[in-house]
Structure 1
Amino acid sequence: MISFSSPILPESWRNSNMLLLSLIAPPDNLNPEYFSTLLNQYGSVNSVKILNKSLMDYKVLVEMGTPEAAKSAKSFLDQLSSNFIKCSYYYDEKPAQSVSYKNCSLDLINDSTMSTLKYRHSTSLNEIVQEDDKQPTSIRTIPSSQQIIHSTSKIQHSTVLCVNGIKGKNLDAQKLYNIFSNFGNIDKILLIKLKNFAFIKYLKEEYSIFVFQNCQNLQFFDSVVSISFVAEDAIDKLIGLDTLYNQQDYYVGTQETDRFNSNHKMNLFPPSQVLHISNLKKVSSNAETMWDVFSEFGVVEAVKVLNTQYKFMCLVKMETLQQALETMALMHNEEIDNRNIQISFTKAKI
């Protein structure tokens, strides 16, 4: 095995078409087909080999068709998440026993199958995610006897999503609920601020699929989020590791908090600049009040009043989708004139 300790890699390593992936809390039924499908859009995938399968140390070796394809795939994975998937180049040529590069030190380790965590007796996930940020990257020589699996199947769905890139002041699980409950009833949410990601578990798989298809690459507070499927028990595996999260970072849904009646047909709408504001009082359901309230969260482009004899509602259009998302996160279920307003996405236009 070769280990190195530097953010600056030798140029020859960057030209490798081999990628080594390390995952945290992957789905239990994750297989080579997932990675082949995921990375095939960035170039041909020659082979996928799963090296180790555990919650703490799940590693996958991917051989792309060309170094250019490997570079594109790595760029995608680096943006996807520095928390769920870590990606490094793999280089299978053994250097001399002692080799020096500028700003990079290499040492040959005889045990080619040794894990960096092999001799740790008590390790929490919190230690692992912190260690990944500061420890040298490890690159392993894989015995040729291990079978290489070629595959091209569909990505495996689950009810649990990993939302990567969660950054912003005063964000907590409740504010994530305010947004993601628009797309289906939620079972649990766990926000890991330490690593800027959250797990969201829906009651039905159709909800998580809708989010996966409609909420990728949203500008949300201080960053762009990306979304991937994870194991059904991903949240349960982390509950109890209280050094990872605070009480307000864990949310458990109930029938009282569900936005949708499970017995009725549900219309799910993707995120939009136009917000539907309901449960208003008559005195506050006017354009002037709505303009004043929502201008605190961005530029209001338009307001439309939708009052009936018994219901008082409005449409508010924000200047950008980012402002609409942040407005919903901060204002859903908040009080206006002593009544908790409800905010949802809509396909209506103003």
Structure 2
Amino acid sequence: MFSYSLPNLPDSLHFSHLLLLTLTAPPANLNPEYFSSLMSQYGPVANVKILHRSLMECRVLVEMANIEAAKNAKKALDQLSSNFIKCSYYQDDKLMPHGSFTIGSYETIDDTTSSTFKNRHSTSINDIVQDGDSKPHSSTVLPISQKLIPSQKNIQSTKTVCLNGISGKELDAHKLYNIFSNFGNVDKIILINLKNFALVKYLKEDQAYFVYQNCQNLQFFESSLTITFAADDSIEKLVGLDTLYRDQDYYVGSQDTDRFNPNNKMILLPPSQVLHISNLKKVSSNAETMWDIFSEFGVVEAVKVLNSQFKFMCLIKMETLKQALEVMALMHNEEVDGRNIQISFTKAKI
């Protein structure tokens, strides 16, 4: 729906100093200077042109100073595995003849603004790429979060994560909430099936950071996730574009749905094969009943009952993490013998 076809390259031309970036659902205020500041971390940038800009797509032609810089940039962007930005080599020099620009000047097509790039920033393309969104407040001010993730240089965290690789007809925003609300109180979720990604916005940045660190490569249903950061206004930019998502693919959290009391210390646990089941009735809190219920979703390896005088709980160990995630998605807050059971990840062993 938003694809753009590039010319086929001759076999003899595998690389070029020209890169074509195609962004899905870009913010309206991206400008050539901003793209240059992002791309300059991979090598010197000669020119930038915005070839096309619309609500749901932006195409940007970037002329790196040499082929080696272009190769570095292309490799970095490809490693993002992002649904929001695609990078390809471009061979048509007619679009950007060397004689028509001075080094460091920038022009746009469909946008009469032009600027001269003065300040180079060592920032990350992740700030706009994860979901095609970034929020510079001016031509030289970069996104507000300055928290660097130690494991990957120059990636800046926000409150919003992009779940790339979402797939499966069973999924909707509510089921994603059931899983990802384990890692913090969720503000909003939107699932864009058309592009196989979802955005999850937390109330706190450190909760999104926890997801980034602990949920890479998760698999459930037909999904295999790559987690990246997104600008904090990403979901708001997509809300209202109802051709991209269904009603059940948009979720708004509230204090009533928060798993964590904001006044208490939050203990966040990574996904696990062992699930803690609570809010059971006494009649349901036995190994046989639990085995029967959860074996519908995979192989139950073990059940441990944790009943007390007034509370009835148990631990369930699924054969794989994938099965445990699917149980979480499908069964959290579902009714069992007249009570809505609560399911959470746990570090307990069976």
Question: What TM-score bracket applies, with the shorter chain setting the length?
Answer: 0.7 to 0.9
What is the correspondence of 1:1-350 to structure 2 with a 5 Å cutoff? 5=5, 8-16=8-16, 19-26=19-26, 45-47=42-44, 51-52=49-50, 56-57=57-58, 59=60, 61=62, 63=64, 65=68, 69=72, 72-73=75-76, 75-77=78-80, 80-82=81-83, 84-91=84-91, 93=93, 115=109, 118=110, 149=120, 151=122, 154-350=154-350
Offset of 1:223 from its aligned partner?
A: 2.6
> How far apart, CA to CA, are the structure 1 residues paired with 2:169 and 2:185?
25
- Separation in 1, partners of 2:203, 2:79: 29
3-state SS, counterpart of residue 283 of structure 1:
coil
CA deviations 1:181-229 (Å, max 9, x no partner) are 0010011111112222111111111111111111112112113111222
User: Measured at CA, do residues 62 and 226 of structure 1 come closer, stay the same or move farther in structure 2, by a change above 3 Å?
Assistant: farther
Q: How has the CA–CA distance of structure 1 residues 5 and 336 changed in structure 2, closer, same or farther, with 3 Å as cutoff? A: closer
| SS at structure 2 position matched to 1:232 | coil
Which residue does 1:127 correspond to in 2?
Answer: none
- How far has the Cα of 1:146 moved from its partner? 6.9
8 Å contact kept, 1:23–1:57: yes
Secondary structure of the corresponding residue to residue 322 of structure 2: helix
Q: Is the 8 A contact 1:221 1:326 kept in 2?
A: yes
Q: Which runs of 5+ in 2 are unaligned?
A: 101-105, 125-153
Q: CA separation in 2, counterparts of 1:33 and 1:322?
A: 41
Looking at structure 1, the residues matched to 178 and 197 of structure 2 have their Cα atoms a distance apart, in angstroms, of 16
Q: Is the alpha carbon distance of 1:321 and 1:258 closer, same or farther for their aligned partners in structure 2, counting shifts above 3 Å? A: same
AA aligned to 1:328 is M
Deviations 1:151-195 (A, max 9, x none): 356223221222111111231111010011001001111111222
Distance (Å, rounded) in 2 between the aligned partners of 1:94 and 1:25: 27
Mapped contact 2:43–2:72 kept (Cα < 8 A): no
The two structures have a TM-score, normalised by structure 1, of 0.73
SS of match in other structure, 1:14: coil
Q: Partner letter of residue 349 of structure 1?
A: K
Change (3 A) 1:68 1:236: closer
User: Helix, strand or coil for the counterpart of 1:259?
Assistant: coil
Instruction: Say what the alpha-carbon RMSD is for the aligned residues.
Output: 3.6
Percent identity of the aligned residues? 62
Q: Secondary structure at the match of 1:191?
A: strand
Q: Secondary structure at the match of 1:182?
A: helix
The aligned length equals 299
How far apart are 1:72 and its partner, in Å? 4.2
Deviation, structure 1 residue 32? 5.8
- AA of the residue aligned to 2:347: K
Unpaired runs of at least 5, structure 1: 96-109, 120-142
- Distance in 1 between the 2:195 and 2:329 partners? 20
**Inter-partner Cα distance in structure 1 for 2:283 and 2:227:** 40
Shift of 1:293: 0.9
Amino acid at match of 1:295: S
In structure 2, distance between residues paired with 1:162 and 1:331: 24
- In structure 1, C-alpha distance between the alignment counterparts of 2:117 and 2:271, rounded to whole Å: 45
Aligned amino acid, residue 234 of structure 1: S
Q: CA deviation at 1:50?
A: 5.8
Tell me: CA distance 1:74–1:200, structure 2 relative to 1, closer, same or farther (3 Å): closer
Q: Alpha carbons of 1:150 and 1:322: their partners in 2 closer, same or farther (altered >3 Å)?
A: same
What is the TM-score when the length of structure 2 is the normalising length?
0.73
